[in-house]
Structure 1
Amino acid sequence: MRILSLILLTFALPLAAEVQIESLQTEHGNGTYRFPKLLGTGDAVKRINTYLHAIELKLLPDSFESSPFENIWPKEGEIWGVTRLDYHVDRYGPGFLAVTIESDTGGAFTSRQSINYLFDLASGQPIILEQLLSESGLRNLHAQLRQQRSQRITDFLSGEIITNGRDGRAVSLDSSNPERAALQRITYEQCRQTRLGRSIDEEHVHLGSQHLTMSITGCMLPYIRDLDALGDFENLISYRALEDDLTPYGHCLLIKDGANCKRPPDIRAGGVYQGSLDGSIPITLVLSHKSRNRLSSALYRDAKVEYTPLEGDASVPEYRQLYESSYPPAHFELRVDKSGELTGIWQQQGGKTLPVQLR
């Protein structure tokens, strides 16, 4: 495998001098794979690398046998798996790192995905919107997005020229094709009542230099996307316009200079937790924010560095239940204290309970 070290940026982190990002890169089959790795020795750097590797590559940093992409690309003779992987850094410092991972996944049809990750540079832990906006601020933002997107559908259905949110084309309702126009009208009206009214959890969040960008995929399923004149929904909101709705952390990060901001502990944001099972088995637990009530996570038992996917309930802020996707079934029951430490038990079906301590 060919690994290219491409220095993209440099920034300062607590407990570390200059930190750089290199690209892990290779070609496999007909696809190109490129992935970020931070260089440095600080705890924040280690957490960011561990989080991204665990969630995207299904392994821990530097734990691969032949390639860092060996767990995600299609196996020999199969079509299922990641067929292309790339990234770009949206913003770095002061205070946070924003990076987007893009991928194509093969199967019955190719699925394209873009995921935005936000990290607090002081702690190396992920950031979610709930840490930046107050509860009332989240409600205000959701209402604003629904109104703007509903108006965009109204404008299109009334015959106005609209910009496609996927490729930038100027589009309008095609009155010369009544059947196509009728199908678009029905679909967009349904979308207005259903998709645009869903939880803000489905949004992709981008933090730029002056604006917050919220985006969701369009109203059409992939196999009828040729009907999708509107494309994706993307809205830019200036930080100044959000000032009254920001938390103290959000205000420090987005309105002030972003340095020395204290990230509030919030287990809903997920993150990297390391410790032991039964006081002797080293484990790494990576919690990934899926929605306000769900966690999608990964467990690594360090002795074998084996990846075990987990699904969990996050509806109670201080309590987590995580279920292993393995046989025999096993689960964690964890509680978080004010310092952010996780304690609880792990139990395999029919077995005894073992204590867990993570931080």
Structure 2
Amino acid sequence: MSAKHATLGDYAEFHFPLVQDKTKAARRINTWLQVSLLERFPGGPGETPFDAVWPKEGSWTGVTYLDYQVVTNSEGFLSIVFNGEYTGAYPSAFSQSYRFETRTGQPLFLTTLFTDDGVQKLRYRVDELQLDDIDAFLKAAPSSGLDQEEAETQADLYRECGENIRKGLYDEREWQLRADALVMMRGCGFPHVAQALDDLGDKESRFDYETLAPWLNEYGRCLLLEKRTDCPLPERGPEGVFFGEIDDRFPVTLVLGAWSGPAWYAYDKYKVPIRLHREASKEGERVLTRRDDGDSTETFTLKWTDQGGLAGTWRRPGKVPLPVRLN
């Protein structure tokens, strides 16, 4: 998909992928990507797919650039990276990667592919590499192109970055699945006003799948090492795209954990996104509410089923709850 913005000049053309087949897997991939980055459901209202996120005419506030690259398109998984720019008080570049297993179209996460211990060891290893970079840089002589104040600011920012890494604040790093390796990005993300001082920049930590073998779970080894397409599907996690009905009459799509927010749903007939908030869960239930002016106007109360779906109720205040089934 592509479209041109009327007033953005050189940044006018936006590009976005669309998986073009009629399977549920394709529908899930398209839904996850469009909700995450465009805050819309596929086929929803608007003159272009980008209407919800790009600047209104005469304004610069919003997504001012968006393009993508298919990193890997194999029989077992699809990996895509987006590069863009968001402009608020000032422009800010972003890069966001997504991975999907191709049989069901559900997104892949580190916890889908690794054991719990493996996830921690991978993150620890990347943290070690970045801390080594920072320590070596701070021990070296300052760049000759900086004055004293700039050099002190640079050093303070790298020390702060190192402390944040040691505190475990960089758990959610950007990562990609490539044909023969997992690549995780490491960088300090200096604020916009100090980006020129970030001499280390963003670096890649590359791990071939053989190296990762001790940390992968059964599904991860099957998908990445054995490169099979018949791997037993992993246990569903708390995030993904779910299709189903309210009261066996109203088809809906629910998205949990997209980049744009904790939860969204839409009636398939209208495809208008409705944002939901996660409430404190109890006794294995997941509670999602829609709020208008601070008040809850509708509530989903859901539990995981043995089949890997969600079941429960939807209700409006003062109304009889209606059954919900999603998978």
Aligned to 2:34: 53
> Counterpart amino acid of 1:278?
D
How many Å apart are 1:156 and its aligned residue?
0.7
> Counterpart amino acid of 2:208?
S
Cα distance between partner residues in 1 of 2:242 and 2:219: 22
Cα distance between partner residues in 1 of 2:24 and 2:268: 18
Cα distance between partner residues in 2 of 1:289 and 1:241: 30
Which of these residues, 215, 223, 230, is aligned with residue 193 of structure 2?
Answer: 223
Closer, same or farther: CA 311–173 of 1 in aligned 2, 3 Å: farther
Closer, same or farther: CA 319–113 of 1 in aligned 2, 3 Å: farther
Cα distance between partner residues in 1 of 2:151 and 2:22: 58
Cα distance between partner residues in 1 of 2:88 and 2:176: 28
Closer, same or farther: CA 245–114 of 1 in aligned 2, 3 Å: same
Cα distance between partner residues in 1 of 2:44 and 2:3: 17
Closer, same or farther: CA 288–176 of 1 in aligned 2, 3 Å: closer
Cα distance between partner residues in 2 of 1:282 and 1:32: 34
**Equivalent pair of 1:174/1:180 in contact (CA under 8 Å):** no
Alignment of 1:1-359 (within 5 A): 24-28=1-5, 29-30=7-8, 31-159=12-140, 173-174=143-144, 177-195=147-165, 197-199=167-169, 201-268=171-238, 270-288=239-257, 296-312=262-278, 319-327=285-293, 328-329=295-296, 330-359=298-327
> Counterpart amino acid of 2:229?
A
Closer, same or farther: CA 180–147 of 1 in aligned 2, 3 Å: same
TM-score by length of 2: 0.89
Q: Secondary structure at the match of 1:153?
A: helix
How many Å apart are 1:247 and its aligned residue?
0.4
Q: Which runs of 5+ in 2 are unaligned?
A: none
Cα distance between partner residues in 1 of 2:283 and 2:223: 23
> Which structure ranks higher in relative contact order (CA pairs < 8 Å, sequence separation ≥ 6)?
2
How many Å apart are 1:318 and its aligned residue?
5.1
Cα deviation, 1:134-173, whole Å, max 9, x if unaligned, reads 011112112211211111001111217xxxxxxxxxxx64
Quote the RMSD (CA, aligned, Å). 2.5
Cα deviation, 1:220-247, whole Å, max 9, x if unaligned, reads 2112212222122431122111111100
How many Å apart are 1:123 and its aligned residue?
0.9
**Equivalent pair of 1:311/1:322 in contact (CA under 8 Å):** yes
Cα distance between partner residues in 1 of 2:92 and 2:283: 33
**Equivalent pair of 2:35/2:258 in contact (CA under 8 Å):** no
> Counterpart amino acid of 1:353?
P
> Counterpart amino acid of 2:67?
D
Q: Which runs of 5+ in 1 are unaligned?
A: 1-23, 161-171
